[in-house]
Amino acid sequence: MVEPTLIMLCLVILAALLFDYINGFHDTANAIATCVSTRALSVKSAIIMAATLNFAGAMISTKVAATIGKGIVDGSNVTQMVVLAGVTGAIVWDLITWYYGLPSSSSHAIIGGIIGAVFAHTGLSALKWAGLKKIILALLISPILGTVIGFIFMLIIYRIFRNQAPSGLNKNFRRLQVVSAAFMAFSHGTADAQKSMGVITMALLSYGFISTFTVPWEVMVACATAMALGTAAGGWRIIKTVGRDFVKLQPVHGFCVETASAGVILGASAFGMPTSTTHVITSTILGVGLSKRLTAVNWKVAQRILVAWVLTIPASALVAYLTYQVLSPLLGK
């Protein structure tokens, strides 16, 4: 007979891979919305490119995984049920925001889910406040950086190419935008797939399958594959919100958005800081839109996006808390 703890471990791994898959189609918009909206690539070509480069990006580092797996909670207070409830909270919130076409943060969702599950298990004393401070600070600063860098980068491009006809400028930047979209897709893989790597490794450590927090290569491949498959499934609802409804973009704007966003995300990933690709690219689009004029931004859409951002951590924490309370009597703590 299979021992209950092994069954729980399998459930946790499946849930984490499901989260990675959902993250893939939920966050596909981050990498390809702008190049689809400017017609630099077809939806099919953009999704294939994003899926391939998401996989490649996910395989190059595990620094963000270590931050997620070790920086939020004391390992002695982590059980399989805590991890399962935390991932469930993130999954539910991602599906809700995907249904309504809102580009919320999967990073915030998994962090909120873990906080809610740990609180249900042992209370707030088990949380590592220094680690949480670092994570939340990164998640708050990155959208500000995205807005500022997007705004400045766009002004520089305007200045350099001020004497060129718009039609010729956009024709050239449409080609360059394919490169910048690829850059963005790669950076998305480096940041987002690692969150599930951290969760699964946390569960393996809790089970005793590994003795130290080191991400096994099998976990890296599994998470990278799940992310790539989810990306291949697409996410048209959010692509439409980010790439068309928020700010009307031309190829030159798309190139600026993708290049600036990828730079912020890769820089943060190099230091193990879990940024939200959703927040970075959406805020960069805002910065580019503001460089044109205030009315270039659809402020009603911006308001909807902001509400989703604010609610993500508490909402996913609440779902995780309730999941723990419901499942722990049935499956054990």
User: What is the average pLDDT across 4-29?
Assistant: 82
Cα separation, 322 vs 120, in Å, equals 8
286-310 pLDDT tens trace: 888 888 777 767 777 777 777 777 7
Cα separation, 280 vs 261, in Å, equals 6
Side chain identity, residue 186? F
Q: Check residue 122 and give its pLDDT.
A: 84
User: What is the average pLDDT across 205-231?
Assistant: 84
- Is 78 within 8 Å of 72 (Cβ atoms)? no
Q: Check residue 333 and give its pLDDT.
A: 59
Q: Check residue 108 and give its pLDDT.
A: 81
Q: Which residue has the higher pLDDT, 1 or 138?
A: 138
Report the C-alpha dihedral over residues 111, 116, 117, 118, rounded to 10 degrees.
90
Give the end-to-end CA distance of the chain in Å, rounded to a whole number.
20
- Is 61 within 8 Å of 194 (Cβ atoms)? yes
The dihedral built from the CA positions of residue 52, 58, 61 and 64, taken in this order, carries a sign that is positive
Share above pLDDT 90 across residues of the chain, in percent, rounded to a whole number: 3
In the predicted structure, residue 243 carries a pLDDT above the cut 60: no
* Mean pLDDT, all residues of the chain: 79
Q: Check residue 320 and give its pLDDT.
A: 92
Q: Check residue 46 and give its pLDDT.
A: 78
Q: For residue 248, what are its two tokens?
A: 């009307």
In the predicted structure, residue 28 carries a pLDDT above the cut 70: no
In the predicted structure, residue 237 carries a pLDDT above the cut 60: no
In the predicted structure, residue 235 carries a pLDDT above the cut 70: no
Q: Check residue 321 and give its pLDDT.
A: 92
Q: Check residue 309 and give its pLDDT.
A: 74
- Is 197 within 8 Å of 220 (Cβ atoms)? yes
The dihedral built from the CA positions of residue 295, 185, 306 and 97, taken in this order, carries a sign that is positive
Q: Check residue 248 and give its pLDDT.
A: 67
111-164 pLDDT tens trace: 889 889 888 888 877 777 777 777 778 777 888 888 899 899 888 988 888 777
170-190 pLDDT tens trace: 777 877 888 888 888 888 777
